[in-house]
Amino acid sequence: MNQQAGRRSSAAWALVITSVAGFMAALDNLVVTTALPSIRGDLGGALEDLEWTVSAYTLTFAVLLMLGAALGDRFGRRRLFIVGLAIFTGASAAAALAPGIDALIAARAVQGVGAAVMMPLTLTLLSAAVPAARRGAALGIFSAVTGLAVASGPLIGGSLTEHISWQWIFWLNVPVGLVLLPLARLRLHESYAPDARLDVPGTLLVSGGLFGIVYALVNGQADGWTSTPILAGLTVGTALVLAFVRHGITSKNPMLPMRLFRDRAFFGINVASLLMFLGMFGSIFLLSQFLQGVAGYSPTEAGLRMLPWTGMPLIVAPIAGYLSDKIGGRPVVATGLALQAVGLGLFAVVLEPGVSYAAQLPGLILSGVGMALYFAPAASVVMSSVRPAEQGVASGANNALREVGGALGIAVLGAVFAAQGGYQTPDAFTDGTVPALWIGAGAVAIAALVALLIPGRRRTGPVETAEAALTAKEHAPVAV
């Protein structure tokens, strides 16, 4: 009896610790968006600096995510979880204390490193601590908590910025992290997978390649598209990414085996995910600033007005999961992406300096419903496209590509915004935002077409289905 009570206590602590850690990391994806005007007013900086404030986190998170999981498997999941949590907490304090925009960007990049080590291990630690009979419920709670972080990110960021200061969106993590660190040491059990693959060459290739491309896209308008640094970033970055692809084909144990992309389902859902996040993340980056700088809302009001978009997955995701079980993931994912594209297109049609919130609401709701329809079935599509033994790699790859899409979205849509408009006047901001939104809508529309490449429903055995259920929760809207 005492042993059973001890197991229940251990499982409960694991759920609390991993859920709170997941909440922190998920929150930091969108919590900054409503604080950007205040950060710009306080620290200065041009458009490219604001882009890096967001992208520095998503980019380091993306390229180190799979390495972080492998390090935990090799050297101890609890140990590396604590290391990642400590890095994330310390970088949050550094971001709050940043004396200038460059220091803030550097701190955000280090935050991404911590999140990349910490996040992939949360589900591993939780699954190991919870008995199989209750694992689905525990993963559901974890998913709901991280989904809540995504939904409330703009609102929390706006409220803290308006009522205290923007620094508190980062200070918020510090006391939470300091409480979690000793709890993780005392309440989580250590586990290993000694045969885990560490692909350092692959990590260096993809990190350097993506940094070069994103650097060029972000700074192209300011430095000149034909300038030496920009051309070098595009050329060298592309070459390194191609070398990473070749490495994934020829290497014995690559972090991302390219053979997985031979499967139509894996190829379709991952390309669609990258394009969806490109259009969605870049659009949120600009619209959150539009609501304050042009529409005149306070940071809190802007966060509240984003809820029909960011909060919709909490309501619609269970319905999307049910539909996916009944008719398969392909039609639900494709429909969701199409609705997201239409929502962004509606924004582009109505956006002007004097636009009412009522005119914006249809675009917000359609985008939110579309995002919710995408998230729930996307997880099971990814899991069912590979063998059970490869589901960890597939999950990490999909999460990483979504984060890459977010970083590219801010860079691409930011470049369009800078070329067509700017911060000078409300009209200039609108002139830059509208064509950027059309690009975002186009990217998501292409994602909907790519999703049609996904084959119809596959018959899965009970073992495969169970494995998918355990891992699918990782694809809840954590990385929005």
The mean pLDDT value for 386-399 works out to 74
Q: Is the pLDDT of residue 205 over 80?
A: yes
Q: Tens digit of pLDDT for each residue in 344-389?
A: 999 999 999 888 889 999 999 999 888 888 876 777 787 777 776 6
For the entire predicted model, the pTM comes to 0.81
Cα distances from 47 to residues 280, 365, 413, 414, 437, in angstroms, run: 18, 28, 11, 8, 16
Residue 445's nearest CA partner among 348, 337, 344 is: 337
pLDDT tops 90 at residue 147: no
Q: Name the percent of the chain lying above pLDDT 70.
A: 90
Q: Are 338 and 445 in contact (CB under 8 A)?
A: yes
Q: What is the pLDDT of residues 259-316, one digit of tens each?
A: 888 888 889 989 999 999 999 888 988 888 898 888 888 888 888 888 888 777 777 8
Cα–Cα nearest to 269, from 366, 375, 392: 375
Tens-place pLDDT, residues 444-476 = 999 999 999 888 765 444 344 444 444 444 333
Residue 153 has pLDDT above 70, yes or no: yes
Q: Which two tokens stand for residue 366?
A: 């359609």
* Residue 184: predicted pLDDT: 92
> What count of Cα atoms within 13 Å lies in the side-chain half-sphere of residue 168?
10
- What does the pLDDT look like over 405-421, one tens digit per residue? 888 888 889 889 988 98
Give the pLDDT band (50/70/90) at residue 171. Answer: very high
Min mean pLDDT across 127-136, 154-163, 179-188, 261-270 is at 127-136
Which pLDDT band, with edges at 50, 70 and 90, does 243 fall under?
very high
The pLDDT tens digits of the residues spanning 315-352 come to 787 787 777 777 878 888 899 999 999 999 999 999 99
Rounded to an integer, the average pLDDT of 135-158 is 75
Rounded-to-integer distance, Cα 48 and Cα 411, Å:
8
Q: Single out the residue of 422, 37, 84, 404 nearest to residue 244, CA to CA.
A: 404
Q: What is the pLDDT of residue 464?
A: 41
| Model pLDDT, residue 140 | 63
pLDDT averaged over every residue in the chain: 83
Contact 22, 146 (CB under 8 A): yes
pLDDT (0 to 100) of residue 194: 67
Distance CA 134, CA 124 (A): 15
Q: How confident is the model at residue 391 (pLDDT cuts 50, 70, 90)?
A: low
Res. 1 pLDDT band, cuts 50 70 90:
very low
pLDDT, greater one: 199 or 111? 111
pLDDT at 338: 95
